[in-house]
Structure 1
Amino acid sequence: MKLTTEQIAQIEETLILNGLIYEDIKLEVTDHIASEIEEKIYNETSSFEVAFKDVFNEWKHELKPSFSGLIGFTNPRIMTVKCHKIVKRQLFTAITISSLITLALMVFVRNSSYGLVLTNIQGVLRSFVLVEFCLVILAWGLIWQSKHQTTYSYLMKKKSFGLIIFLFMIGIGLFPVMLNHPDAKIAFVSVLSVITYVLITGIYLQLAYKHFQFEKKLSFTKP
């Protein structure tokens, strides 16, 4: 039995009341719950009301408020798990790649004969950071104006402010790239921090892209 438009709307309204307001995950969960309700109605000859109640009782754990150390409080749990996985994967990727790049740069430039190369690297890096700064500002503004909310826009709104401040500090030189610092540990931490933020910024810009991709998909599916 296929559910009616009104019954699907009832599922969506219940999910919203439970805090699931982000459209990408709400759409996904709505499809799952609708399928489970249809299956119960077909296999157990239940009414929609009975199947609806039973399925939502089974989903109760996933719809409870929850906490993640990486993103804080998010409702409900299924949203927290998805966002936690995204952020964890991003951090692992950014830190791993930036560590390798930092080691390679330090081996290459910590030699007095590479003074000009060092200056060029620092100049290029600061210019690149300023470009990223402008792109984050643009993406942030477009997402705030968007009529749709997704897990991607949620993470962009939650994380972008800190990125914007740090990128601005790097771009204008308040947080210098100290490749040639006499203390190798200070040099390593300085360069690692900058490159990590550069990579994380690129990853978060991908989140903005995914948000607008989903928004475009909705524009094609909705009348």
Structure 2
Amino acid sequence: MKLTTEQIECINQTLVKKGVKFDDLKMEVLDHIASQIEYEMATTQKTFPEAYNQVFERWNAEFEPTRAFFSLRIYYPKIARSKFGNQIKLEIFTTITIAAVLFFSFQLVSDSNTKLQFIFWIKKVFFYAYIGTILSMFIFKFFNAKSKVSSTYKHSFDARFPSIFIWLTLIFNDNIPQDTTNQNLFVLSMGCLFMYLLSTVYLGFKHYQFQKKFSIQ
């Protein structure tokens, strides 16, 4: 049994009251809850209010306020924190992979001069990646500012925007570590920073993609 527009809006308003205010997450949860209510109404002959109450009772634990990552004052529903957590886990896994590839590639180089050249090229690639990321961020900021659509992607992207400029000193620092320990640490840190740049552009693009989809709907 398909829900009416009014019934779907009732679910939507309930999600807002429960703190689910990111549009991408709200659409995802609303779809699941609406499907479960439709199933209950079709299989048990319950009315909409009865099925609505039963399904939301099952979801109550997901709406419990939970402290946001890296914050002492901001709280999200548990389901939102879980989505941010999944994104962080993916980034950590990818960071470890990129850093490990760079690190082990660096270990295959035995000659000290070649190692210095290896680091020099990493710094050069990182410089262009950084400039490309800055330009991309401003472009996404421009397009995303025109939309009132909220998403978990935009929230994470906006939180990272100021911190990207902290690395300006690293970008324009020409010093290259000379001892082996610091060279290894430098290569590992470059792997982490590469991932930070990639994921920041990814978040901006995902919000832009989502708002296009949202506006069509």
Quote the offset at 1:177 in angstroms.
Answer: 6.3
Question: In 1, are the aligned partners of 2:66 and 2:76 still within 8 Å (CA)?
Answer: yes
- Give the gaps of 5 or more residues in structure 2: none
The CA RMSD measured in Å over matched residues stands at 2.6
Spell out, residue by residue over 1:102-159, the C-alpha distance to the aligned partner (whole angstroms, 9 max, x if none).
3323543852367666545533432332222332343345434432111111221223
The correspondence of residues 1-223 of structure 1 with structure 2, limited to 5 A, is: 1-67=1-67, 69=69, 74-105=75-106, 107-108=108-109, 111-112=112-113, 119-162=120-163, 164-173=164-173, 178=176, 180-182=177-179, 184-221=180-217
Contact 1:12 1:30 in 2 (8 A): yes
Q: Which moved more, 1:32-41 or 1:188-197?
A: 188-197
Deviation at 1:203, TM superposition (A): 1.9
Runs of 4+ that moved beyond 4 A? 68-74, 113-121
Amino acid of the structure 2 residue aligned with 1:188: N
For structure 1, which runs of at least 5 residues remain unmatched after alignment?
none
TM-score by length of 2: 0.85
Matches of 1:15 and 1:47, distance apart in 2: 20
Pick which of 70-79 and 146-155 moved more: 70-79
Structure 2: distance between partners of 1:212 and 1:130: 20
**Alpha-carbon distance between aligned partners in 2 of 1:116 and 1:77, rounded to the nearest angstrom:** 48
**Structure with greater contact order relative to length (CA < 8 Å, sep ≥ 6):** 2
Do the aligned partners of 2:153 and 2:203 also contact (CA within 8 Å) in 1?
Answer: yes
Alpha-carbon distance between aligned partners in 2 of 1:118 and 1:44, rounded to the nearest angstrom: 66
What is the CA-CA distance between 1:18 and the residue it aligns to? 0.8
Alpha-carbon distance between aligned partners in 1 of 2:117 and 2:42, rounded to the nearest angstrom: 74
Q: Relative to 1, partners in 2 of residues 1:124 and 1:209: Cα closer, same or farther, differing over 3 Å? A: closer
Q: Structure 2 CA distance, aligned partners of 1:34 and 1:19?
A: 18
**Structure 1 residues 6 and 75, CA, compared in 2 at 3 Å: closer, same or farther?**
same
Contact 1:177 1:194 in 2 (8 A): no
- SS of 1:66 mapped into structure 2: strand
